[in-house]
């Protein structure tokens, strides 16, 4: 599955020239991030890291990932409405994981009060790697599905013209014209706009709930712009603002500074460090409201690693999606081996296997955002320490995916240009809107390819490990 630019990869003068063009093209096209030094100001910005060249992706696996996205949308939506499933699946996790327990507590509290929300909007991104079998054939295997704050739908679209330019500079015009069109932020905005419309208050706004530190603001602005273009007002607020100025009115309508909010789009709230006591109170207020939360707390819980692991048990998909045998088969085909570490014989046995052969597995806690998983010797040590304690149930085990590396150049500000052995992760954005029981939108909205050097086991673009890329189908 080599890309047709293997011939130029070692042509240092040509690569150097192309890299200079690439960085300027990235700045021109808006592949931007705020700097680490000034994360909340746009006075100084830089290009977001990206690969010099597109990476080869097998066409059949790319198409498979798109073909299963609507199924994943239906699945996540079904889980979010299944109180018993979430309760049963997360029972062991919430005993030992405070963060999941807190989210779950809000979920139960909101259900007890009765949902004021009747329109539901899901924006997710299902991430995959291409697992290389012993016979050399690659298979599409899901890494995880992100049901909250799935990012880079904006910047990935802007990376495409940069790669087209680079290929042309390197004499690959034909290949440049074959790169696929891709604009996820437009699809995301269409979902938000639909939810806003169904909410039914033309004067109400869309609120982006954003972090205190906003380095990735330009990615969010891409979605924002699409909404303004449709004459939908967007405001950006933090949990702190909600705590200070948010309130519920009649019918639990949400107001910020006296202005009604139709949709709350979370780009925040997915890791423990996003919350102090006030922020938890703000989250509860939002969840209790009639506003369309993207995602609501049940949908966030549907994206936990524990839920992912339970989905791989025989019979679970069938019970969540009754009468949809074909969807179940498509979904299951993307699952890697996933194992529960719940207390009992099953957990004891897989823990022993992983301690004996740690390189076969990844040990994952219930966390998002990259950099939390354990591999190899570290996995062995941690698992050995907690193998007989309930603490182990805050983790799941997963088969380690082993993709075939390829050479590329990772362009980062202030970093020397050198060739790296790289692996890629493909994400497909899913968008759906449900009104009461009726699905009114269910789409795949575009893709994201992220690439990293093989020496990094873990971590995404925001974590500073992976970089933006564009797939070249082979
Ligand atoms: P997070 O929620 O922190 O993003 P992920 O499950 O996506 O957690 O894992 C983070 C990164 O770790 C992935 O982007 C991927 O590079 C690596 N990773 C995760 N699971 C596996 C796996 N089963 N095999 C190989 N690498 C993995
Ligand atoms: Mg991830």
Give 160 Cα–ligand 1 centroid separation in angstroms: 24
Rounded Cα gap, residues 269 and 286, in angstroms: 12
Whole-angstrom distance, CA of residue 277 vs CA of residue 261: 23
Question: In terms of Cα–Cα distance, which of 184, 214, 238 is closest to 462?
Answer: 214
Over residues 18-51, the pLDDT tens digits come to 999 999 999 999 999 999 999 999 999 999 999 9
What is the share, in percent, of the chain residues with pLDDT greater than 70?
100
For residue 464, is pLDDT > 80?
Answer: no
How far apart, in whole angstroms, are the C-alpha atoms of residue 63 and residue 58?
A: 9
Residues with CB under 6 A from ligand 1: 127, 143-144, 336, 362, 364, 367-370, 372-373, 398-401, 425, 458, 460
> Running DSSP on this structure, what letter comes out for residue 52?
S
CA-CA distances (angstroms) from residue 349 to 280, 292, 343, 381, 444?
A: 38, 43, 10, 17, 39
The tokens for 189 are 């905005």
What pLDDT sits at residue 461? 78
What ranges do the domains of the chain cover? 6-336+401-473, 337-400
Residue with tokens 């939810």: 195
Asked if residues 156 and 449 have their Cβ atoms less than 8 Å apart, the reply is yes
Question: Dihedrals φ, ψ of 389, to 5°?
Answer: -115, 150
Residue range 295-334, pLDDT digits in tens: 999 999 999 999 999 999 999 999 999 999 999 999 999 9
| pLDDT for res 458 | 77
From 373, 424, 426, 457, give the residue whose CB has the most ligand 1 atoms within 8 Å, as the site to mutate: 373
Topology at the third CATH level for domain 337-400: Dna Ligase; domain 1 (3.30.1490)
Axis crossing angle, helix 69-80 with helix 83-96, rounded to the nearest 10: 80
Give the mean model confidence (pLDDT) for residues 442-466: 88
Long-range contacts of 311-318, Cβ-Cβ distance < 8 Å, separation of 24 or more: 311/75, 311/335, 311/338, 312/337, 312/338, 317/75
**End-to-end Cα separation, the chain, in angstroms:** 6
Give burial (CB, 10 Å; 0-12/13-18/19+) of 126: buried
Residue nearest ligand 1's atom 16 by CA? 458
pLDDT tens digits for 111-154? 999 999 999 999 999 999 999 999 989 999 999 999 999 999 99
Rounded to the nearest 5 degrees, what angle is found at the Cα of 290, between the Cα atoms of 286 and 296? 55
Which residues belong to the active site? 125, 144, 146, 151, 305, 364, 368-369, 450
The 3-state DSSP class for residue 105 equals: helix
For 382, which DSSP code? H
Atom of ligand 1 nearest to the CA of 364: 6
Name the token pair of 258.
């006296």
- How many Cα atoms are found within 13 Å in the side-chain-facing hemisphere of 42? 7
**Ligand 1 atom 12: the closest Cα is on which residue?**
458
| pLDDT beyond 90 at 453 | yes
Separation of CA 11 and ligand 2 centre (Å)? 34
164 Rama sector, left if φ>0, alpha if ψ -120 to 50, beta otherwise? alpha
pLDDT of residue 1: 59
Provide the mean pLDDT of the chain: 96
**In the predicted structure, residue 348 carries a pLDDT above the cut 70:** yes
Residue 86: per-residue pLDDT: 98
Peptide bond into 412 cis (omega under 30): no
pLDDT digits (tens, 9 = 90+) for 164-187: 999 999 999 999 999 999 999 999
Q: What is the pLDDT of residue 313?
A: 98
DSSP 8-state assignment for residue 384? H
Looking at residue 239, its pLDDT comes to 98
Sorting pLDDT into bands at 50, 70 and 90, what band is 460?
confident
Alpha helices in 200-275 (DSSP H): 217-229, 239-245
Q: Each residue of 43-86: pLDDT tens digit?
A: 999 999 999 999 999 999 999 999 999 999 999 999 999 999 99
Helix, strand, or coil here: 446?
A: strand
Q: Residue 244: its pLDDT value, please?
A: 98
146 CA to centre of ligand 2 in angstroms: 7
């Amino acid at each position: 599955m080599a890309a047709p630019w293997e011939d130029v990869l070692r042509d240092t003068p040509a690569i150097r020239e192309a890299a200079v063009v690439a960085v300027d093209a990235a700045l021109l096209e808006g592949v931007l991030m705020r700097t680490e030094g000034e994360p909340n100001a746009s006075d100084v910005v830089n290009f977001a890291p990206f690969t010099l060249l597109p990476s080869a992706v097998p066409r059949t696996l790319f198409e498979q990932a798109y073909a299963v996205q609507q199924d994943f949308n239906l699945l996540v939506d079904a889980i979010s409405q299944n109180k018993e499933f979430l309760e049963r699946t997360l029972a062991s996790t919430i005993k030992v994981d405070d963060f999941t327990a807190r989210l779950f507590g809000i979920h139960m509290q909101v259900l007890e009060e009765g949902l004021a929300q009747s329109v539901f909007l899901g924006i997710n991104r299902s991430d995959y790697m291409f697992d290389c079998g012993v016979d050399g054939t690659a298979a599409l295997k899901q890494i995880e599905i992100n049901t909250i704050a799935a990012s880079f739908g904006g910047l990935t679209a802007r990376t495409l013209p940069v790669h087209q330019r680079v290929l042309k500079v390197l004499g690959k015009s034909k290949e440049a014209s074959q790169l696929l069109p891709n604009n996820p932020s437009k699809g995301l905005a269409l979902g938000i706009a639909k939810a806003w419309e169904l909410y039914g208050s033309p004067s109400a706004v869309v609120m982006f709930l954003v972090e205190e530190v906003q380095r990735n603001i330009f990615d969010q602005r891409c979605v924002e712009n699409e909404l303004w273009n449709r004459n939908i007002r967007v405001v950006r607020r933090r949990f702190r603002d909600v705590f200070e100025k948010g309130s519920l009115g009649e019918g639990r309508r949400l107001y910020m500074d006296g202005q009604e909010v139709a949709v709350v789009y979370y780009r925040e709230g997915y890791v423990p460090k996003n919350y102090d006591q006030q922020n938890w109170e703000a989250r509860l207020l939002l969840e209790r409201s009639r506003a369309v939360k993207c995602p609501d707390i049940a949908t966030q819980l549907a994206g936990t690693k524990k839920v992912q692991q339970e989905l791989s048990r025989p019979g679970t998909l069938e019970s969540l999606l009754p009468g949809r045998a074909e969807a179940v088969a498509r979904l299951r085909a993307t699952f890697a081996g996933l194992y529960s570490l719940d207390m009992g014989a099953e957990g004891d046995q897989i823990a022993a296997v992983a301690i004996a052969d740690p390189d076969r597995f990844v040990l994952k806690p219930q966390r998002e955002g990259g950099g939390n998983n354990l591999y190899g010797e570290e996995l062995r040590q941690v698992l050995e320490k907690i193998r007989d304690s309930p603490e182990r149930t805050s983790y799941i085990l997963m088969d380690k995916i082993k993709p075939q590396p390829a050479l590329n150049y990772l362009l980062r500000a202030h970093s020397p240009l050198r060739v790296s052995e790289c692996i890629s992760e493909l994400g497909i954005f899913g968008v759906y809107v449900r009104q009461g029981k009726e699905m009114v939108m269910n789409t795949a909205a575009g893709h994201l390819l992220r690439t990293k050097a093989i020496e990094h086991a873990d971590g995404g673009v925001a974590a500073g490990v992976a970089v933006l890329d564009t797939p070249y189908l082979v």
